[in-house]
Amino acid sequence: MKNDCVFCAIAAGEIPSFKVYEDDDTLAYLDINPFSKGHVLVIPKAHSSCILDTPDETLSKLVLKVRDVAAKAKAALGCDGFNILQNNGESAGQTVKHLHFHIVPRYGAGPVDFESHKADMEELKALAEKIAAV
């Protein structure tokens, strides 16, 4: 665990999150400023700053979990598709320096935007419970 890392603190349960999936190595929870309804972040519990310093085993396990969580989210939300994003470095838009994959559900034929939106905490809670229940 890295001391000043917000996602390590979430993984350790020191900061609350809207969890959708957890196992020994992996945690998935809703993004608090979602691009779309049901925007999920998937992280390894072990800290690495980006994809380049992540050990093979951690990354291999994580990618499979990203797929599984995306399938759960799609089943729960009834989205038509989803983007998987993974930012490395400030110039790529990475703001949290703990490896994470974004799963961004997409609905219908609307514009594919990558803008953060303010979320309603009650709605996030309900969405997380719905995805976690799949």
Footprint of ligand AMP (CB under 6 A): 6, 15, 17, 31-33, 41, 87, 93-96, 116
CB of 88 to ligand AMP, least distance (A): 9
CA dist., res. 116 & res. 16, Å (int): 20
Please name the residue that has the structure tokens 């809670």: 125
Q: Return the one option of ligand AMP, Zn ion, none that residue 8 interacts with (CB less than 5 to 8 A, by type).
A: Zn ion
CA dist., res. 128 & res. 73, Å (int): 9
CB of 50 to Zn ion, least distance (A): 11
* Catalytic residue flag (residue 47): no
* Angstrom distances, CA of residue 31 to CA of 52, 55, 74, 105, 116: 23, 24, 16, 12, 9
Among 72, 74, 98, 102, which residue interacts with Zn ion (rule: CB under 5 A)?
A: 98
Q: Any contact of residue 6 with Zn ion (CB under 5 A)? A: no
Give the other-Cβ count within 10 Å of 118's Cβ: 7
Annotated catalytic residues are 100
Q: Which residues bind Zn ion (CB under 5 A)?
A: 2, 5, 7-8, 47, 98
